[in-house]
Structure formats: structure tokens, C-alpha cells
Amino acid sequence: MRFNLRSRVVLGVLALGASRLLAAGETAPATPWAVPTASGFTVPGLPAVTGRIHVDKFGYLPDERKVAILSDPQAGYNAAESYKPGKKLEVRRVGDDAVVFKDEPELYNAGKTDAASGDRGWWFDFTKVDAVGDYYVFDPEKKLRSHVFRIAPDVYHGVLRAAVRALYYQREDIAHRPPFAEEPWTDAATYTQDRRARSLAARDDASTERDLSGGWMDAGDTNKYPTFLPEVIHPLLYAWRENRAAFTDDFAIPESGNGLPDLLDEVKYELDWLVKMQDTDGGVFIKMGVIDYAGGAWPLSQDKRPRYYGPKASASTLAAAGIFAHAARVYREFPEWKSFAADLEKRAIRAWKWCQTNPRSYEVDDGTIKSGDADKNAVEQDRWEALAAMHLWALTGQATYHDAFRKGFLKFRQLAEPFWSPYESGQAEALLDYTRQKGADKHVEKRILEQLRNSAKSPKFMPQDEKSDLYRAWVAPESFHWGSVLARTGYGKIAQDAVIHGSGVPKKQLRQRALDMLHSMHGVNPVGIVYLTTMGGYGAEVSATRIWHDWFMPGTPLAANPVPGLVVGGPNHSYTGDIEWLKKQPDAKCYADFNEPWPSNSWELTEPAIYYQAMYVRLLANFARPYGAE
């Protein structure tokens, strides 16, 4: 999403030795790295499974609408697979194989091929099945079943736990060892050299050394960027604020058992690093990391390349001001974190003052530190100024910040564009947060809520016809880009935002849209994959197994076995690599399970990122309940 081609070319050349070469006379498969279609007898005692009956591989809430998608591919890499369901399908309970429901599938859209997927299909509605238990959909004529799924109020708690723990595995400068890290995903502390990071402008000057250790690696690369955090920290904090009961103190991270929510413990690990990136005058350094692509090592604890930090910038300082202020609002609720919250408040104010007394900067990142461009343009910085002002006003009550928010709130994409955008919606939840604040300007509040209400009636926000997408998870065609899961989870999150904050909106339909977007992340998609890594232990028979990540590169012992719970980028119809069959796919099928280097450019589809992770957690948090919840 943010890596330039030149950077990946160099990385690819370094990794080519790990790629498998074809032997003489050997023919390359027509669809290398395609996600395998589920088939055969994979669960003892159950019928053969088929990938043509799509269900959420984790399960469903008892009170929601439950629809299995039956697909018959017409276009794309799997077009040769043919499936037509029998006249009646059944839902069977695992354990005693009892038939608890049966009905006829409904032909989708008069048998027309769905444009996004290249499939035609049927819907099988089994909403009436609402008792807690494990089930599968069965076609008695074809003798084929769906993946097993669970129905329960707490069905997503384990998935939520895995997604939060994935952030723990992204931590730097901490040893990943049992009992917190599971085998084989263990390593000594990584990037301990960040304790002595030097200024990019004075690489040989030891007096510029700063302790910038800790925090999360940004994505599949190990560098760290304050300007990429607004769409990470804000949605994670809002996830906790929206559903505090879901984030218990038993997620098996080092802080578990301390009596505090593990999600906030995990976020604090990143905040502690961001604090280190702020200079004494309030300014924040724009990024830090390596300055070359060569010399990487495996495991990551063996990568000893020197690391550097860039200059202070208005973009990174504005980003930090908003994050510090929001975090101070959350952490001050806990007696154990009172002093931490007080320090964050002071830092937010210092960052704000720095931005008010220093000129804006737009070309600070010259690319010497690899590899993402951390600069932000004037409009983006205007939005962050308004964002920081809102949180500072909510934190301090000072009119200066309120005035700044009222001056700039219309710059948010959600108000500047015709409808509530799914992009940057994690940080833009501040708009809805504002409407709940005592002393909010009634005119501003009205403008925000009117936009949300009007958007809910727009086909660009939510299809008015449920037949808009075979897989019941419509996104705009232009959303199938690098990092498409951001749009997918964003659409789901804002649908639920409208349920919570909207008036005069179809709340039942909106809630189901949010759930259907979640189901699309869990296997109800034309590829049939869970867009999270290594989720077999959580009930998913098919999940991502290969990702572009420095810890899980080709040729390493973990190349096909990344840690559980990392969210991958998703289908990308702008893929530029050399796997030709990918370029010919319908939008929603432009995905492969691979981690090949240049020129295959797997990072354009399979690289995870902490911003993908955060938005997925934010969407999931709306529906997750702790184990045993009713």
C-alpha cells in the first residue's frame, strides 16, 4: 500500500535464492499459489467438504440472519469447478449428526453471474437455527458439506484474542518466549540496537543516540512510523470504549493477570515507544528504521543493522498530539495509569504548541530510511489538527481546542465527501465521539449526524438492494486495491457506527451489513479463505498460510507457518507482479496465498499491517463477547 516498486525490487533480488526454481522440462502450474479449494474427508466422521458452500468458518451469533452462499464459478482461476446444489439442503449438528433444519436454496439474481466474483450462485437461509452448538450445511444429493461452524454469543472471542495477540507478535525489543509466545513462533529480543538509534543527519555522531526501542513493527517490514498510527491507535481505543467487556485480562500476553484490560496493555506498549519519539520541545520525529535493504537476517533477532531516526515534522507531531490526547482520556480511568495519562496529556499539549509555533512541513521524509513515505499533505494535516483539537478539548475542556475543532471539522473525509467514507473511519470516529460530549456545538453535532443519516440511505454507503453482491458483502469496485481489507472492514465498521449513533436509519439492515462484512473476512468470499493467518486452531480449515513479512520469508523455517491472527492485505485488482493469472481475475478473486519476492510482488496482496489489524479488531469488537456470555 505504501511501498514503492524500487524498494521491493531490491528486496526481491536478495530473497530470490529462497524461491523454488523449475527443473528442466517441468511445467509451471497454470495458477501457482492459488488458494486451494477445500475438498475431501477432512474431519473424521463427517462427509466430504466442498469449498462451494461458503459459511463463516468461525460461526454466527444466534440472533443474526445466517445465509450460506452456494457458488458455481463462471469466471476466474476456478471456473472449471462446477456445482449446482440439490433441491434441499440441511443444517446438521456435529456430534449426533441430527438434521436441525432443511430448506430449498434460493437462486441468486435470476442466475446471473456476479460481476465482482465471476460466480453465479444461491443463498441458503438458515436463520432459524439459533441454538448454541457446532453445525455444518449438508447437500444430501451431492453428499457434500460446508466447513463446520459454531453458533453462540461468544463465538468470536477466540478470534478477537488471536487478532490482539498478533500485535504482541509484532512487538520489538522483547523476547518472544513461552508461556506467552507459542512454539514455533519464538525468538530472542529483536532490534535492541534501537536503544542507541542515531539521527539520520549525523549518523557518525554518538551524541545523537536516543533510546527509541520497543513498539510494533509496522507491517511486514520492521520499521516504525508515527504518521501511520492514527488509523491504528484511535480505532483500537474506540474498540475498547465500545465493548469493554470483550477485552478481558487473559489474552496470554506478558501483562495478562495484572487486573487491566489486555488490549490497553498492548496499546500501551506502542504508546511507550511513541513517547520516546517526542523531543523535549514537543516535536515528534517522523520515522525510524534501517537505511538499506541489504543485510537482513533470520531470525529477526539476528538483524543487527544500525537504525536511524528522521527529523521532526508537523505531520508526525500532529499525529502524536491526537493520539496522546485520546489515550490520556482512556488511561486516566484506571488508577494504575493515572500518572501515565497525566504525562500523555502534557505531551499532547506540548505537541500541539509545537505545531502552532513551527511551520508546516510536507517533504521531510526523503526516503533514506526505508521504506514507507511518512509525509502527509496539507489536507491530511488539516484533518489531524482538527482530530487532535477534538481530543484535547474533550480531555481539557479548553475553548481554544473546541474552536480549532469547529474550524476544521469539515475537513474530515466523512464530511468533505458525498457520503461517510470507509477510509480513515477509525480516526474519524472522533466526529461521533464529539456528538456525545457535554458542551458540543449543536450546529456541528447536527451537521455530523445528518451526514451519517443521509449516508445510510446512499448506495455508495450501503446497497439498497441486498442482491447487489452474491457474497452479501458489497464494496465499491474501486475498493479492490492494495490493502483492500481496510475498505472492507471500514464499510462494516461505519455500518455499525450508524446503528449506534444514527437516527431514522434502517438499524437492523445496517447491523446485518456490518456482520456480513465480518463474515466476508472469515471465508464468505469467492476465494473461500479466512483473511487472517494460521487460524486452524480457532476452527478455520482454510486461512492464509503465506505472507510477505520479514519473519516469514521464503526459505525460512516459518515461510508457510506465520503466527496466528495477522490480517493480510486482501484482493488487489491493481496487482503488478509477474503472476499472469492473477491479473485476469474478477476483482474479488485477485488474491493468492504466497510470499514470493520480486518480480512476483506478493506484498501487494499478502503483507499484513498494524492498520489492517486495528480496523479488523474495531469491527470485530462490535460483536465479540467473552466466553460464557449469553
Give me the DSSP letters along 106-167: EEGGGGPPPTTTSEEEEEEE-TT--SSEEEEEEETTTTEE---EEE-TTTTHHHHHHHHHHH
On the question of pLDDT at 2 being above 90, the answer is: no
Q: Is the dihedral of CA 381, 268, 231, 566 positive or negative?
A: positive
The structure's pTM equals 0.95
What pLDDT is stored for residue 295 in this prediction?
A: 62
Residue 29 confidence (pLDDT): 64
- Number of H helices and E strands in the chain, helices first, is 16, 19
pLDDT band at 173 (very low <50, low <70, confident <90, very high): very high
Which three cell numbers, joined as nine digits, stand for 60?
Answer: 454466527
User: In this model, does residue 19 exceed pLDDT 80?
Assistant: no
What is the mean pLDDT of the segment spanning 159-185?
Answer: 98
Q: Give the mean pLDDT of 284-309.
A: 92
State the pLDDT at residue 26: 38
Kind plus residue range of the DSSP H or E element containing 308: strand 308-309
Is there a contact between 345 and 396 (Cβ–Cβ < 8 Å)?
Answer: yes
The angle formed by the CA atoms of residues 72, 524 and 53, to the nearest 5 degrees, is 45
**How far is 169 from 163, CA to CA, in rounded Å?**
10
Looking at residue 331, what is its pLDDT? 98
Query: Which range (156-170, 421-435, 453-467) has the least confidence?
Result: 453-467
What are the C-alpha distances in Å from 280 to residues 29, 364, 572, 573?
Answer: 58, 19, 42, 45
* Average pLDDT along the chain: 94
pLDDT at 11 over 70: no
Arithmetic mean of pLDDT, 126-148: 98
pLDDT at 365 over 90: yes
Contact 426, 618 (CB under 8 A): yes
State the Cα–Cα distance between residues 321 and 587, nearest whole angstrom: 38
Residues 171/214, Cβ–Cβ less than 8 Å:
yes
**pLDDT digit string, tens, across residues 99-117:** 999 999 999 999 999 999 9
Mean pLDDT of 245-272: 98
